[in-house]
Structure 1
Amino acid sequence: MHRRALIAFTLAPALALAQTQPRRAAPPPAPPPAQRGSTVLAGAERAAVLGRVEAYLGGIRTLKARFLQLAQNGATAEGTAWIQRPGRMRFDYDPPTPMLLVASFGQFLFYDRELRSPSVVPTSATPLGILLQENLRLSGAVTIEEVAREGGFLAVTLFRTDSPGDGRLTLIMDETPMQLRQWVVLDTQNRTTRVTLSRIETGLTFDTAIFAFNDPRFFEPGGLGAPQR
């Protein structure tokens, strides 16, 4: 696969699978073994931590950060991320990576600026879309597979209850004060992609136009938007 396509799809590998494979009920991929030194939480402690995580995530309305993306094959990319809940996200990759990811109106849209090719899949086709839900709940439609603590960090691994075959998402957070620092996507072929956030700002006001995608081909002379003779 072309390197650009790999970079685009490794942000949320389940999106690529949704484009190329039929949806089907399947067990989620096997989780990686727990990290040495981590403590897997259970019982009342697990429930209390999940309650705090749910309240924290549900309280995020806007977030802006720099991101560093690391694919399993070692490929890296970075850029700026904007999230506005519910339903909106923008990942703008720094050059030379010619990719843009925009989420709005229930869809993820990938755009390759060099190939001038957009690809669209539903936000419901990946566990990453869980972060954009208006009423974010870590139960019912979301299955929590594991909650672990290690060195002041929490790791919460989850998948969509009705479509476990879409992959798995692990959220990694500072515990005190709680802050989302990283997420890891594991796809059905056991490929992982890690996205690390830095310079995080919350509570900002965004121009909603940044979450819109206007295909430049429509605005070129003789382009897709030109009158047809």
Structure 2
Amino acid sequence: MKIIASTLLCLALAAPAHAAAIAQLKQFVSSTKTLSASFSQTVSSKGKQETASGVMELQRPGKLRWAYSKPFEQLIVGDGNTLWIYDKELAQITKRKQAGALGSSPAALLAGSNAIERDYLLREMGKQGDVEWLAASPKKADNTFESIKMGFSNNQLVEMELGDSFGNQTRIRFSDIKKNPALPAANFSFTPPKGVDLVSE
């Protein structure tokens, strides 16, 4: 099973010092226009684990880039209207409507509008070590993600834990986080390479 990203992404933030996790999340959404970070991802399913790593970028509202570099190259680009998933090894591109593909996923939560509490029930989960945790439960029962947890340390979103309806558990750790960097517009557009199979969903 290759790791695509039903877990698209997510990341960092600056918030008031020592603020609880929910306050930090709200501060992030209201103050972050762009974001970049490196990530490492582990997906656990039926006793097996797969790891991947790469770089993600975010431009609110609605634009994202999630580029896997290991163990294989895969690129996910959301331009605000269309979500492109390019698997270089398989020479295949999947094209989806972004709104339907993201729904109220973690990517929609972080890349979308400020309506966090419209789509999610937020609950503080307390502190574990140096990390403050919150749980975000999607209000829509048909959401792919059954559980979403976010961990903050030193006013940055440093970890996410996602549980989906297929029984997969995904853990994402972020590093090299940059808030509001200047990001080229070209990073959030995608032109299918010639000779690559295109599948529309």
In structure 1, how many angstroms separate the alpha carbons of the residues matched to 2:78 and 2:168? 23
In structure 1, how many angstroms separate the alpha carbons of the residues matched to 2:141 and 2:95? 19
Unaligned runs of 5+ in 2: 9-18
Amino acid at match of 1:117: Q
TM-score, normalised relative to structure 1: 0.69
- How many residues in Structure 1 have an aligned counterpart in Structure 2? 179
Q: Determine if the alignment matches structure 1 residue 59 to structure 2 residue 55.
A: no
Please name the residue that 1:81 is paired with.
Answer: 56
Amino acid at match of 2:37: A
Amino acid at match of 2:83: F
In structure 2, how many angstroms separate the alpha carbons of the residues matched to 1:120 and 1:155? 34
String of CA shifts for 1:162-197, please: whole Å, max 9, x gaps: 2354212211111xx311112121101331111111
Please state how far the C-alpha of 1:84 moved relative to its aligned partner. Answer: 1.3
Q: CA RMSD in A?
A: 2.5
Higher strand share: 2
Please state how far the C-alpha of 1:54 moved relative to its aligned partner. Answer: 0.8
Q: Determine if the alignment matches structure 1 residue 153 to structure 2 residue 131.
A: yes
Please state how far the C-alpha of 1:107 moved relative to its aligned partner. Answer: 4.3
Please name the residue that 2:164 is paired with.
Answer: 187
Amino acid at match of 2:128: E
In structure 2, how many angstroms separate the alpha carbons of the residues matched to 1:103 and 1:119? 12
Amino acid at match of 1:11: T
TM-score, normalised relative to structure 2: 0.77
Amino acid at match of 1:209: A
Please name the residue that 1:172 is paired with.
Answer: 151
Please state how far the C-alpha of 1:87 moved relative to its aligned partner. Answer: 0.9
Please name the residue that 1:25 is paired with.
Answer: none
Please name the residue that 1:108 is paired with.
Answer: 83
Q: Determine if the alignment matches structure 1 residue 214 to structure 2 residue 191.
A: yes
In structure 2, how many angstroms separate the alpha carbons of the residues matched to 1:178 and 1:164? 32
In structure 2, how many angstroms separate the alpha carbons of the residues matched to 1:70 and 1:49? 23
String of CA shifts for 1:96-145, please: whole Å, max 9, x gaps: 512111122244322111222222442215343211112243x2321125
User: What is the identity percentage for the equivalent residue pairs of Structure 1 and Structure 2?
Assistant: 22
Q: 1:51 to 1:9 in 2, by over 3 A?
A: closer
In structure 2, how many angstroms separate the alpha carbons of the residues matched to 1:125 and 1:178? 24
Q: Determine if the alignment matches structure 1 residue 126 to structure 2 residue 105.
A: yes
String of CA shifts for 1:138-168, please: whole Å, max 9, x gaps: x232112553222221111113212354212
Unaligned runs of 5+ in 1: 13-46, 225-229
In structure 2, how many angstroms separate the alpha carbons of the residues matched to 1:201 and 1:185? 23
Q: 1:156 to 1:164 in 2, by over 3 A?
A: farther
Amino acid at match of 2:178: E
Greater Rg by CA: 1
Higher helix share: 1
Structure 1 runs (4+) deviating above 6 angstroms are none
Q: 1:95 to 1:187 in 2, by over 3 A?
A: closer
Report the 3-state secondary structure (helix = DSSP H, G, I; strand = E; otherwise coil) of the residue aligned with 2:49: coil
